[in-house]
């Protein structure tokens, strides 16, 4: 593994096991029609050869039907209540859940009862207890469950992971990661949105965006944290229930430390760096979809910055899910994987309360 081999075909789908033309597309019921669904998820599903957005589910029948009429491949627009009642269940194979965190479990329960596979947005739920229940619900019904960590199929992240796994940077020694944005600028004029509501979200900046550096560190190190500490803070009144900003540290095996930062009130910025005994890989910008990712690698006297072609991250994620549902390989970011983040994030909040390191073992 060297930079040359990384440059050639950097966006290859090394995870792919089935040929798109040889499978039946996975037909999705898309649950929750907010800006992320309309702006990111539906365009990717329309474009995919391996997936189809056949059913759209919203609180409003009118909105669901209107959007179904506007979406290629969508034949049904139904309400949440109709979904729970099994409406149009012959028209989809899987559900994509992109509702407020605290509602994930109820949609998984219905999907599992209907025998549908599940792609569930991260974080899994509003707390680890419900996340475990969600996982068990899928296991008991023997349906696939994937948590939607789109960084796992982001080519830049996968190439960085290969470099680390192949010893390009020697032994990993530390990780630095961050993600920030001005949430209030984005959601204005909707200050009552669910991300600010502790009962619906479970957490603030940590749950919403801190999960990116946390989970991507796990993915790059192929390891899970053994202890965490951290601090949360809020300066704006809108963040009276959930954290506006979080700074946390996670200890991984072999005394590798990840130091992470996330804020809903700092300029948009994201990056992830793994420093090893022999070299360093850095992805920056790292997490926002609208920016071309750059991979900065260095070893010995050399350093290079590689702009990896921008892919549609949602398309990669949906196609990976379809590959795993239709093929024989199992899902990497499964329920167990998601629960690890939930427990780690809750431990960060616990550490922020106690001023201590909290063990995860």
Question: Contact residues for its own copies (CB under 8 A)?
Answer: 169-171, 173-174, 176, 178, 180, 182, 229, 231, 233, 235, 245, 247, 249, 251, 254-255, 257, 259-261, 263, 265-267, 269, 275-280, 298-299, 355-357
CA-closest candidate to residue 228, choices 207, 249, 203 = 249
C-alpha distances (whole Å) from 28 to each of 15, 23, 109, 111, 291 are: 21, 15, 16, 11, 27
Whole-number minimum distance, CB 49 to its own copies, in Å? 34
Whole-number minimum distance, CB 267 to its own copies, in Å? 5
Whole-number minimum distance, CB 25 to its own copies, in Å? 38
Dist CA 360 CA 251 (whole Å): 10
Q: Give the burial class of 355: count Cβ atoms within 10 A of its Cβ; 0-12 exposed, 13-18 middle, 19 or more buried.
A: exposed
Contact 41, 30 (CB under 8 A): yes
What the block records as the tokens of 274 is 């793994």
Tell me whether residue 16 or residue 174 sits nearer to its own copies (CB atom): 174
Tell me whether residue 59 or residue 277 sits nearer to its own copies (CB atom): 277
List phi, psi (to 5°) of 23. -115, 160
Tell me whether residue 184 or residue 311 sits nearer to its own copies (CB atom): 184
What the block records as the tokens of 41 is 């998820």
Tell me whether residue 182 or residue 310 sits nearer to its own copies (CB atom): 182
Dist CA 56 CA 315 (whole Å): 17
Tell me whether residue 129 or residue 185 sits nearer to its own copies (CB atom): 185
Tell me whether residue 140 or residue 237 sits nearer to its own copies (CB atom): 237
Tell me whether residue 53 or residue 279 sits nearer to its own copies (CB atom): 279
Beta-bridge partners for 279: 299
Whole-number minimum distance, CB 186 to its own copies, in Å? 14
Whole-number minimum distance, CB 247 to its own copies, in Å? 4
11 Cβ contact list (under 8 Å, min separation 6):
155, 308, 309, 311
CA-closest candidate to residue 7, choices 178, 228, 156 = 156
Dist CA 242 CA 258 (whole Å): 23
Whole-number minimum distance, CB 179 to its own copies, in Å? 10
Q: In this structure, are strands 358-359 and 302-307 parallel, antiparallel, or unpaired?
A: unpaired
Whole-number minimum distance, CB 262 to its own copies, in Å? 9
Whole-number minimum distance, CB 120 to its own copies, in Å? 30
Dist CA 145 CA 133 (whole Å): 12
Q: Give the burial class of 185: count Cβ atoms within 10 A of its Cβ; 0-12 exposed, 13-18 middle, 19 or more buried.
A: exposed
Tell me whether residue 17 or residue 277 sits nearer to its own copies (CB atom): 277
């Amino acid at each position: 593994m060297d930079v040359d081999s990384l440059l050639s075909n950097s966006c290859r789908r090394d995870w792919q096991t089935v040929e798109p033309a040889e499978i039946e597309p996975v037909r999705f019921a898309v649950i929750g029609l907010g800006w992320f669904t309309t702006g990111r998820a539906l365009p990717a599903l329309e474009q995919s050869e391996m997936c189809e957005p056949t059913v759209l589910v919203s609180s409003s029948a009118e909105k669901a039907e209107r959007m179904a009429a506007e979406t290629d491949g969508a034949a049904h627009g139904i309400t949440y209540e109709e979904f729970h009642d099994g409406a149009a269940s012959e028209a989809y194979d899987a559900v994509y859940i992109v509702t407020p965190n605290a509602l994930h479990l109820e949609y998984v329960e219905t999907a599992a009862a209907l025998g549908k596979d599940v792609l569930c947005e991260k974080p899994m739920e509003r707390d680890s207890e419900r996340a475990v229940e969600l996982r068990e619900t899928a296991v008991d019904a023997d349906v696939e469950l994937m948590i939607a960590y789109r960084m796992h199929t982001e080519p830049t992240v996968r190439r960085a992971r290969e470099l680390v796994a192949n010893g390009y940077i020697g032994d990993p020694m530390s990780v630095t990661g961050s993600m920030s944005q001005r949430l209030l600028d984005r959601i204005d004029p909707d200050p009552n949105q669910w991300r600010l509501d502790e009962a619906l979200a479970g957490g603030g900046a940590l749950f919403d965006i801190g999960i990116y550096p946390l989970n991507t560190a796990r993915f790059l190190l192929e390891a899970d944290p053994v202890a965490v500490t951290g601090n949360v803070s809020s300066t704006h009144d809108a963040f009276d229930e959930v954290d506006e900003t979080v700074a946390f540290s996670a200890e991984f095996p072999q005394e590798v430390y990840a130091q992470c930062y996330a804020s809903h009130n700092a300029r948009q910025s994201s990056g992830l760096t793994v420093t090893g005994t022999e070299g360093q890989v850095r992805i920056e910008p790292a997490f926002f979809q609208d920016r071309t990712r750059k991979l900065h690698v260095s070893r010995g006297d050399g350093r290079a910055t590689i702009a990896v072609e921008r892919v549609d991250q949602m398309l990669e994620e949906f196609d990976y899910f379809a590959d795993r549902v239709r093929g024989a390989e199992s899902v990497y970011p499964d329920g167990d994987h998601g629960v690890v983040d939930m427990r780690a994030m809750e431990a960060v909040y616990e550490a922020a309360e106690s001023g201590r390191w909290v063990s995860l073992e």
